[in-house]
Chains A and B, each alone.
Chain A
Amino acid sequence: MSMMHASQVNDAKPTGANVPPTASLMRWVIIATLPGIATMSYFFGLGVLSNVVLAAAFGLAFEAAVLRLRRRPLHTTLNDSSALVTGVLLGVSLPPASPWWLIGVGMIAAIVVAKQLYGGLGQNPFNPAMVGYALLLVSFPTYMTLWAPPQGLLPSGLWAQIAGTLPTAQLDSLSGATPLDAFKHKGEAVMASEFWAMNPLPDGTLSAWRWVALAWLAGGLLLVFKRIISWHIPVAMLGSMLLLATLFYLSDPSHFASPLFHLLTGAALFGAFFIATDPVSAASSRRGKLIYGAGIGALVIIIRSVGGYPDAVAFAVLLMNLGVPLLDMYSVPRPTGQPKTPPGEQP
C-alpha cells in the first residue's frame, strides 16, 4: 500500500516528475489551447470564441444530464474538466461562428454517445471530439466547409450566423476555402505551380493558417514540457506525415503538395498535440504510441493526397482508435527478467 502520492508531496526533488491529478491535467490542456484559440480569433474573428464557449457549455450540460440519468455524482465528475476539454477541442475544429444547433448536435455525439454511453471518462474507445466532428462532417457538409477567409474580429452577420437565422443563400457569400480545400479542388489538369501562380486564396489566408498552426505548436510544446503528454505520439505522427508527404511530393511535385504545406495548414499540428494525444483512446505502451501516432500521420497524408476529403485528422484518429486494442495487445513491453520470445509468441 502506497501511502505517499506524488500530487500530495511538496518536498520531492524538483527533478522528480510531479504528476498533477487528472483534473489539473485537463486544466493544463485547456490552458495550452489558449494561444491557438487567441490566434484563430485574431484571424478568423470572434466566431471562433463563440464556438468554443457554446461547445464547452453544451459539453458540461450534456455531461451533467447523462450523469444525472446514470445516477453518478455530479460534482466530482464535472470537476475533472474532461467534458470542458472535449468542448474546447470540438469548438476550435468547427468553422468559425457555426450555428448553435450544429455545435449542439456535435456535442451530443461527442459527450452522450461517444463518451458517456461507453461508460464515461476513461472508458471511451473513440476520441469524443472527433466522433462529434466526423458526424457533423458527413451529416452537414455544407456547414462544415463554410470556412470564412481571414477577417476582422466582429464580422458582419456574426450573430445571425450563430443563431442559425442566416438564409442559406447568404451563407455561400460568407464562405471561403481553406488552403487544403482549395488545393484539393484545384482539378487534375492544373499543375501545382500554375495553381499557386493563380493566387487562389484571398490575401493572407495562407499566412493566417501558418500562424494558427504555429500557435498550436507552441501550446503543444507547453504540454510536452509540462509532461502532460508524452512526446511519442506527436513526434511519430508529424514524422510519418513528413516522411509520407515527402515521398508523395518527390514522386510528383506537380500534383502533390509540399511536406511543409501539409504540416502548416489544416489540423496537422493541432491534431498531433491535442487530438491524437487523448490518452483514453490512444495506445498505451510507448511502442504502441509510436505506431499509433505514425499510423495517424500516414492516414492523414494518404487521405489528403488520394482520398476524398481535404483534411483527414478526424478520420485518421478514429481509424487508429479502432486499431488500439490490437496495438495494445501486440506492443506489450518485455518485463525485465522475462525471456526474449520470438515475435510470433509474444502476447
Chain B
Amino acid sequence: MPSAFDFPGGVHPPERKQRSNQVALIDAALPSRVTLPLQQHSGQPATPCVSQGDGVKVGSVIAKREGMISSNVHASISGVVAEVSATHISIDGDGRDEWFRLPPLAWQQAEPQALLARLNESGIVGLGGAGFPTHIKARVVEQHAIHTLVINAAECEPYITADDLTLRHYSNEVLEGAQIIARLCGAAQIIIGIEDNKPDAIAALKQALSNGQPIAVELTVIPTRYPSGGEHQLIKKLLDLNVPSGGLPADVGVLCHNPGTLLAVLHAVRDGQPLVSRVVTLTGEAIAQPGNRWVRLGTSVKELLEQAGLNHPGLNPAALNQVIQGGPMMGSPLRTLDTPVTKLTNCLIAATIAELPPGPPESPCIRCGECESVCPVALLPQQLHWYARAQDDAQLERYHLSDCIECGACSYVCPSHIALVDDYRDAKHRLRQQHIETTKAEHAKHRFEFRQARIAREEAEKQARKEARQAQSRRTPSSSASASSGETDLRGLRIAHAAAKASVRKAEKNLARVAQQDPKQPLDDLETQLATAKENLNAAELQLTQAQQQSPPNPAPSKESP
C-alpha cells in the first residue's frame, strides 16, 4: 500500500546496496579472542562481574547493568577471561563454543514481568544504532498507552543491508519477535515500514504474513528516500502522526523497533539466547567478499574485514582509504581497525578513496537555501550554521537546533561543501556541557541551602531545650515588656511558619510532577529541595511553639491590641 503522508525534504543519495545484498547471510568465523566494551548501549556502562582467569561460556553474564538505563553484557565466546579493565572485558576463546542458555519461555503464556525480566537479563538493546535498552523501552507502557508497533525496516542509509538480509532469512522470526513486543506493550496493530528498494525482503515478508498473525500486521512499502528511516519521519509517513519536538514516539502512542532487535527478542525469549551476536554489513570497494555476516560481539573489525578480503592500505587504487562504522551519511570513520564489533555496529564500509573521496575545501555559505529544501525536519540549516559558528545560543534555540536529527541531508547537498552537521553536533555538545555545568551549580546551591536549613533547625531545637530548662528552673511568668515584644515576634513567626508549610507543599508537588512526566530524570536534586523545605518547616514550627509557650495564652493578639 503506498503511503499518502509525507515528511518534508529528503535526498536521494546513491544507494550502493548492491555491493552487499547479492550473497546470503553467513556466519563469520568464530573469533579466538573477543573484546567486549562495558558500554555498548545508551545510558550507564555495565559493571564487570567476572575476574581474570574465570571460565565463561557463550551467554554467561560478564557485566551487570548499572542504574536505570543500562544493559547486561554477555560472553560471546566460550573460554577464559583474559582481562577486565575499566572500559572492557577480553575473553580468550577455547574454540569449543559451549553455550549457556536460559530456559525457553513460552511467550504466549508468560507473564509480562517474566518477559521484561528476560529482555533485561538477555542484554537486548536497539540494534538499529541507538542502542537503547529494549526492556526499558517496553516499560514505556507504564506512562503511555501504545496503539501501534512500527517495525522500522526502511534502512534508508546507503550501503547498509543488514535489515534487508535479516528479513530475507528470518521474516517469520522477526514477525514473531514483533508479536512478543506488541503483546508486551498492548499494541493493537503492527506496521512494517520498508523502502521499495528491498523487493526480496518484501516478498519474504509477504510470504511470512500469509501464515496469519495474532495481532494484525500491515506491510507498508514506501518510496526510497533518505531519511525515511528516521523514527519521526517514518511515523509521519506511515501513520501521519507528528512526534512532538523533544518527545518520543510513545508520546503519540507508537513504539519503533528495528527487525534485528525483534529477532534478538525472539532468540532471547524462545531460545533463552542472550545478545551475543548480530548481523553486520561488510561492504565497500576495498573488500573482495562483501556481504552480511552473523558476527560475535567483540570480534575485531580488522579480523572481520580481513576475512572478507580486505585490500590493505597502499598505492593500489582499490586499497582501503577509510573504514566507516555505520552508513556514509550518519556514520563515523574509525580511527583504528583494532576496535571491536559492538551491539551498535550495523555496518562497516571499507571504502577506497574513489568511492568516498574526502570533501573538497569549504567555501563560504551563499545562502542558496538548498539545505532548507532537503531538511526532513523543516529547519533552516543555513541559519543554524551561522548561529552555530557565532555560538549564538539564543538564536540556536530559536531556530530549534535541538530538533535536528543529524541526518546529514544538508551537508550532502551543500554546494559550498560546508560540514553543517559537524557544526550542529559541536553546538549541541557545547550546549549540553553548559547545561550540565549550570545544573551542577544549581545542585550545589540546593545542597548548601539544605545544610543551612538543617543547621538552623538544630539551632532552634537547642534554643528550645535551653528555654525549657530555664523556664523549669525559674518558674516565673515573663514580664509585660517581653510579652509585648513576644506578640510581634509571634505574628512574624506565624507568617514564617505558613510560608514554610507552603514551600514544602510546593516542593512535594514539583517532585511528583517531574517524576510523573519524566521518570528518566534524576530526582535527587528535587528531593534535596523538598528536604530543605521540610527542615525549614521544622525550625519554624519549633520557634513558633516556643514563642507561644512564652507569651500569655492569647488566641488572636493582633486583633485585640488597641
Contact = CB atoms under 8 A, between A and B. Distances in A.
> Which of B324, B333, B359 lies at the interface centre, i.e. has the most chain A CB atoms within 10 A of its CB?
B359
Given A279-B366, A336-B377, A3 B328 contact: yes
B232 A336 contact: yes
Contact of B415 (A7, A335, A337): A7
A31 interface: no
Interface in A110-124: 120-123
Interface in A1-23: 1-9, 11-13, 15-17, 19-23
A63 interface: no
A289 B158 CA distance: 33
Contacts of A123: 364
Contacts of A8: 357, 359-360
A123 B403 CA distance: 26
Contacts of B363: 21-23, 76, 80, 121
A8 B357 CA distance: 8
Given A16-B13, A284-B382, A347-B398, A336 B8 contact: yes
> Which of A13, A15, A338, A347 lies at the interface centre, i.e. has the most chain B CB atoms within 10 A of its CB?
A338
Contact of A22 (B12, B16, B416): B416
Contacts of A285: 369, 372, 380
Given A3-B328, A12-B12, A21 B417 contact: yes
Interface stretch (A186-194, A208-216, A264-272, A326-334): A326-334
Contact of A13 (B12, B232, B412, B416): B12
> Which of B158, B322, B413 lies at the interface centre, i.e. has the most chain A CB atoms within 10 A of its CB?
B413
B14 A122 contact: no
A1 B361 CA distance: 15
* Count class of interface residues, chain B: 35 or more
B368 A2 contact: no
A337 B244 contact: yes
A344 to B, nearest CB: 15
Interface SS of A by simple majority: loop
Nearest to A227: B370
A335 B12 CA distance: 21
A6 B333 contact: no
Nearest to A121: B364
Given A3-B356, A335-B245, A338-B400, A25 B14 contact: no
B243 interface: yes
B403 A230 contact: no
A102 interface: no
Interface string A87-107: 000000000000000000000
A282 interface: yes
Interface in B366-418: 366-370, 372-373, 376-380, 382-383, 398-400, 403, 408, 411-417
A4 B415 CA distance: 13
B419 A2 contact: yes
Contacts, number: 159
Contacts of A338: 244-245, 400, 403
Given A16-B11, A335-B377, A338-B403, A2 B16 contact: no
Contact of A25 (B12, B351, B368): B368
> Which of B11, B324, B367, B400 lies at the interface centre, i.e. has the most chain A CB atoms within 10 A of its CB?
B367
A6 B412 contact: yes
B417 A284 contact: no
B279 to A, nearest CB: 22
Contacts of A334: 378
Contacts of A21: 360, 363, 415-417
Contact of A284 (B158, B330, B367, B377): B367
Contact of B378 (A12, A122, A282, A335): A335
B242 A336 contact: yes
A339 interface: yes
Contact of B13 (A9, A332, A337, A347): A9
Interface string B225-265: 00000001000100000111111000000000000000000
B12 A332 contact: no
Interface in A243-287: 279-280, 282, 284-286
Contact of A5 (B324, B333, B372, B417): B417
Contact of B14 (A1, A9, A336): A9
Contact of B328 (A4, A16, A20, A22): A4
B246 to A, nearest CB: 8
B356 A4 contact: yes
A337 B245 contact: yes
A6 B11 CA distance: 9
Nearest to B368: A279
B30 interface: no
B378 A4 contact: no
B442 interface: no
Interface string A120-155: 111100000000000000000000000000000000
A337 B398 CA distance: 15
B55 interface: no
A282 to B, nearest CB: 7
A13 B226 CA distance: 12
The 3 closest A-B pairs by CB, nearest first: A16-B12, A122-B364, A2-B408
Given A1-B333, A8-B357, A80-B363, 16 more contacts: A3-B322, A3-B331, A7-B417, A9-B14, A13-B14, A16-B11, A22-B415, A122-B366, A279-B366, A279-B367, A284-B380, A332-B380, A334-B378, A336-B242, A336-B378, A338-B403
30 contacts: A1-B333, A1-B419, A2-B419, A2-B421, A3-B331, A3-B333, A4-B158, A4-B408, A5-B411, A6-B413, A8-B359, A11-B16, A12-B12, A12-B13, A19-B415, A21-B417, A22-B416, A76-B363, A120-B364, A122-B367, A230-B369, A230-B373, A279-B367, A280-B366, A284-B372, A284-B383, A332-B383, A336-B236, A337-B232, A337-B244
Interface of B: 7-8, 11-16, 158, 232, 236, 242-247, 322, 324, 328-333, 351, 356-357, 359-361, 363-370, 372-373, 376-380, 382-383, 398-400, 403, 408, 411-417, 419, 421-422
Interface of A: 1-9, 11-13, 15-17, 19-23, 25, 76, 80, 82, 120-123, 230, 279-280, 282, 284-286, 289, 328, 332-339, 347
